Every structure is written in structure tokens, then in C-alpha cells.
């Protein structure tokens, strides 16, 4: 059977079809023919592909068709949430950051907990659901080009079902001093799903930091499908951080699509310690000379967690630079996956790209699958990739123990040092320290 063509045969695929038919008339922008057609086309693309399975090369380590046994409808009602519960869900680290806060509860923006007026004359920050009723030209153009349809099953499903999110446009030369923190909360007491879309555009020379957090206030099963579309104009600079700590019965599916114009700077970091199943995709396209990106991540897995990070980096123009570093710490029967494909087109001379993935296995039953790839068609480049995996270095353990440090503390220090190398990629010191606190907390809870 052709791996690119599936009929809707699984219970989950049939469930998504039923959900789409049930909710499509009530989705934001349903009265707009242009958006209705985009949603319809996206769902047809999903139907043609079906849920991906291991015969699809990009999904060889994560058989979503087998792992998603059913599809969850959107939550019928969200729990009451106040600012203290939001901060508590984020913990003492991220919960204590001084940010412009935007809160999404079970797939719907909570206006009473959100600040969407922080930009003033520097741009626009909008509730996506409300904006789709009468979208500004820049948002209509971004969603209306149809370019996302057919570019991936997660994004197709997200386009068809997206119910809310944030639309953020920052004007040329503007600088947002405090981070913008989008917090996604799962509160529903029953199994539920949510599809959210964020659209972020930075004008020439603009600067901003965006944090996306995903946390649970309920142990009920959940399915999150969230997509963030980022476009940086020439000379713009953005720090982009994701923190994912959803409940054990959560399935977290994430897609970032990033376009960099000339001399743009993009620093991205993804931190995952929650969800029983997590798949995070990042698609990055260099569209202008002189652009630079640093992408890093840490994933911490225990129990039977399955944490998948997949990157596609498209060097399409000359003189661009990318650095990629991901670290995974895996205990018990956890499985971590890193796939990173860097493509250098024929015209992308003077590309400088390096990629590294490293796994630290704390148990003989843990598994780390790594597949870094280079696809180079240019002849004047500096590119490299690598991957390592192993256990804690016994010589380093002996060195620390010989200096009077207990075994548990020595082990913890080495794990912190391992993850800390990747965390150094985060430019914002407060954010970096908040995530290091999460590493310490993970260790303190007896994991690792």
C-alpha cells in the first residue's frame, strides 16, 4: 500500500472526521468563504494521508496511527481558573517571570487572564478567534495563501480544527522589553482535545521574546495540536521558548513554521518533561542572506514516555548560519527521538550549519533514537552533524565522590551539567534559570 495514501479506517481517523463535521459550522471564521475553503481543503488533505505510521520516513520512530487510539472532541466547558492557579501550574520558575501574559484554557483564550494591550502603537496583539471574524490584511494574507495545506498531517489537522490562538504583529523597529508568555492550560475533567494556532510577524528590526507553556490542571486524557507560524522580516530578532509539562495521559503535537528574511536572528529552545506522547516539529526556512538561527532543546523522560523532536531546516539562500543542539535525559522505559534534517540548496553557498544530538541513558531499558541528516547540493559550505548516547561517565562520578560528594548529589550535578550545556543557548537569563530549576525539580522528584 502507498504510504502516502490511507483510507479513514482507524477509530481515531473516523473520530476526527466526526469531530470536524460536528464543529466546522461553529469554528471561528466559519462565515468567511475564503477561510471555510482553506479548512475544507486542509481536512481533505488529512483524509488523503490519514494518521502517519512508521512506513512514512519522517514518522518511522513514532507510529501515530497506532498510538492515537481515538480522537477527543473539544472540551465542552472549562474550569474556572485564576491568576494564582496559572502561576501555580507553571511552578516557581516560569510562574515567577515578569511577562505579558496570555492564557488559553482548553483551547479558548481567557480574556480576564490575558493582556492583549501591551503593544500599544508598536503593533497588534489579537485573540485569533475574534480576529478571524474580520482579519487585518497581514493575517488574512498569512492564512489565506494556503501554503500550509498539504505540508504535514499535523498542520493540516490544525488548520481544519483551529479554534483559537494569538495573532501578533510587531511593527518595524519596535522592541518588546518583557517576554510575551502564552500559557496553554488543560483543565477539563474528561478526555478532550484542542487545536490552537499562533501567527507571529516581526517587522524589520523588531525584537521580541515569546514563551509558549503547556501545562495541565487535570489528569484526564488530552490531545493538544498547536501550531505557531513565525515570520521575521529583515534584521528582526526573536527568542522563542517552549515549555511542555502536560499530564501523563496527554498527547502533545506541536508544529513551528519559521521564515527568516535577510539578517534576521532567531533563537529557539524547546523544553519537554511531560506528556506520555509528545511530537514537536520545527520547520525553518532561510529566505534572506545573512540570517542566523540557534536552536536547542532538552527533553526529560521517565516511565514509558515517548518524546519526539523532529527538525527540517531549509537553507535556501547564501551566507546563512544555523546551530542546533538537543539533549535528552531518559530513565526507566522512556524513549527519546531526535530527527534533524538540514537541506542546503544549490544556490545556498557559504552556508555554515552544525547539528548535534546527545542522549543520556539512566536505565538499561531507556532508548534514544537519533537520525541527524545533511542534504547538501552547494559546494562551498561548512556543515557537520553528530550524535552520541551513553550512560553517566563513571570517571566523573569517581572524581566527584572522591571529593566527598554523595552519590545522589554527584549524579544530579552531572545530569544538570549535561542539560545545562543546551540551556546556555537561551539568551534570557531569567528564562534560562527558570528552566534549570525545572531540571532540578525533575531530579528532586526522584526521577533520574
Contacts of 392 (CB under 8 A, 6+ apart): 360, 362, 411, 414, 415
pLDDT for 403 equals 87
From residue 38, alpha-carbon distances to 21, 50, 161, 178, 221 in Å are: 15, 18, 11, 35, 29
Extract the C-alpha cell encoding 370: 537519533
d(CA 442, CA 436): 10
Residue 87 has pLDDT above 90, yes or no: no
| pLDDT tens by residue, 12-50 | 999 999 999 999 999 999 999 999 999 999 999 999 999
Query: If we measure between CA atoms, which residue out of 413, 405, 398, 423 comes closest to residue 443?
Result: 413
The band of 84, judged by pLDDT with boundaries at 50, 70 and 90, is confident
Does residue 322 carry a pLDDT above 80? Answer: yes
Label residue 145 by pLDDT band (50, 70, 90): low
Q: Does the pLDDT value for residue 149 go beyond 50?
A: no
Please give the average per-residue pLDDT across 166-182, as a whole number. Answer: 96
Looking at the DSSP assignment, which residues form a beta bridge with residue 370? Answer: 338
What pLDDT does residue 397 have?
86
In tens, the pLDDT along 230-269 reads 999 999 999 999 999 999 999 999 999 999 999 999 999 9
Question: Could you tell me the three cell numbers for 84?
Answer: 494564582
Q: What is the pLDDT of residues 323-372, one digit of tens each?
A: 999 999 999 999 999 999 999 999 999 999 999 999 999 999 999 999 99
pLDDT score of 436 more than 70 = yes
Residue 313, SS3?
Answer: strand
How high is the pLDDT of residue 151? 67
Section 371-378 average pLDDT: 95
**Segment 164-185 mean pLDDT:** 96
CA distances from 47 to 67, 69, 223, 344 (A): 18, 17, 19, 32
Which is nearest to 121 in space by CA: 192, 172, 82? 172
Q: What is the CA radius of gyration of the chain?
A: 21
Of 1-10, 28-37, 117-126, 233-242, the range with the lowest mean pLDDT is 1-10
Q: CA 398, CA 363: separation in Å to the nearest integer?
A: 19
The pLDDT value given to residue 1? 42
Mean pLDDT of the chain: 92
With 70 as the cut, is the pLDDT of residue 147 above it?
A: no
pLDDT exceeds 80 at position 272: yes
For 366-384, b where at least 16 C-beta lie within 10 A, e where not — what string? bbbbbbbebebebeebebe
Contact by Cβ (8 Å): 297, 53: no
Note the Cα 15 to chain centre separation in Å. Answer: 24
- Which pTM value belongs to this model? 0.94
**CA gap 284, 256 in Å, rounded:** 8
pLDDT value of residue 426 = 95
> What b/e string do you get for 96-133 counting C-beta neighbours within 10 Å, with b at 16 or more?
ebebbbbbbbbbbbbeebbbbebbeebbbbbbbbebbe
Render pLDDT for 391-422 as a digit per residue (tens, 0 to 9): 998 889 888 888 889 989 999 999 999 999 99
**DSSP β-ladder status, 108-109 and 100-105:** antiparallel
Q: What pLDDT, on the 0 to 100 scale, is given for residue 141?
A: 80
**220 close to 191: Cβ distance less than 8 angstroms:** yes
Q: Rounding to the nearest 10 degrees, give the CA dihedral for residues 165, 149, 337, 224.
A: 30
Amino acid at each position: 500500500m502507498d504510504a502516502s495514501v490511507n483510507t479513514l479506517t482507524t477509530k481515531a481517523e473516523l473520530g476526527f472526521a466526526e469531530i470536524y463535521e460536528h464543529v466546522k459550522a461553529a469554528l471561528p471564521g466559519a462565515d468567511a468563504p475564503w477561510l471555510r475553503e482553506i479548512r475544507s481543503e486542509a481536512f481533505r488533505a488529512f483524509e488523503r494521508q490519514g494518521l502517519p505510521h512508521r512506513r512514512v520516513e519522517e514518522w518511522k520512530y513514532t507510529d501515530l496511527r497506532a498510538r492515537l487510539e481515538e480522537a477527543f472532541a473539544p472540551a465542552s466547558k472549562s474550569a474556572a481558573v485564576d491568576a494564582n492557579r496559572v502561576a501555580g501550574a507553571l511552578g516557581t520558575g516560569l510562574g515567577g517571570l515578569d511577562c505579558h501574559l496570555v492564557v488559553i484554557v482548553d483551547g479558548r483564550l481567557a480574556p480576564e487572564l490575558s493582556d492583549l494591550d501591551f503593544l500599544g502603537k508598536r503593533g497588534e496583539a489579537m485573540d485569533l478567534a475574534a480576529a478571524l471574524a474580520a482579519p487585518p490584511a497581514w493575517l488574512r494574507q498569512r492564512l489565506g495563501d494556503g501554503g500550509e495545506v498539504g505540508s504535514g498531517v499535523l498542520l493540516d489537522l490544525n488548520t481544519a480544527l483551529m479554534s483559537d490562538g494569538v495573532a501578533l504583529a510587531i511593527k518595524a523597529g519596535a522592541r518588546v522589553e518583557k517576554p510575551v508568555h502564552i500559557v496553554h492550560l488543560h483543565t477539563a475533567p474528561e478526555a478532550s482535545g484542542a487545536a490552537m494556532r499562533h501567527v507571529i510577524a516581526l517587522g524589520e528590526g523588531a525584537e521580541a521574546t515569546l514563551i509558549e507553556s503547556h501545562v495541565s490542571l487535570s489528569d484526564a486524557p488530552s490531545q493538544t495540536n498547536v501550531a505557531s507560524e513565525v515570520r521575521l522580516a529583515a534584521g528582526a530578532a526573536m527568542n522563542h521558548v517552549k515549555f511542555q509539562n502536560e499530564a501523563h495521559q496527554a498527547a502533545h503535537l506541536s508544529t513551528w513554521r519559521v521564515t527568516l528574511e535577510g539578517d534576521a536572528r532567531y533563537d529557539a529552545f524547546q523544553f519537554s518533561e511531560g506528556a506520555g506522547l509528545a511530537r514537536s516539529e520545527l520547520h525553518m526556512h532561510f529566505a534572506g542572506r545573512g540570517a542566523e538561527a540557534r536552536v536547542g532543546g532538552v527533553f526529560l523522560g521517565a516511565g514509558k514516555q515517548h518524546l519526539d523532536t523532529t527538525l527540517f531546516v531549509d537553507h535556501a539562500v547564501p551566507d546563512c548560519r544555523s546551530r542546533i543542539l538537543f539533549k535528552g535525559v531518559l530513565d526507566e522505559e522512556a524513549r527519546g527521538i531526535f530527527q534533524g534534517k538540514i537541506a542546503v540548496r544549490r544556490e545556498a553557498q557559504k552556508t555554515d550549519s552544525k547539528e548535534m544530538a546527545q542522549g543520556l541513558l539512566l536505565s538499561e531499558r531507556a532508548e534514544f533514537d537519533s537520525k541527524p541528516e545533511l542534504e547538501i547540493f552547494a559546494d562551498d559550505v561548512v556543515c557537520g552533524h553528530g550524535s552520541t548516547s551513553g550512560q553517566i561517565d563513571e570517571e566523573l562520578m569517581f572524581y566527584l565522590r572522591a571529593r566527598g560528594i554523595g552519590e545522589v548529589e554527584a549524579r544530579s550535578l552531572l545530569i544538570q551539567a549535561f542539560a545545562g550545556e543546551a540551556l546556555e543557548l537561551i539568551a534570557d537569563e531569567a528564562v534560562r534559570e527558570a528552566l534549570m530549576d525545572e531540571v532540578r525539580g525533575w531530579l528532586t522528584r526522584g526521577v533520574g
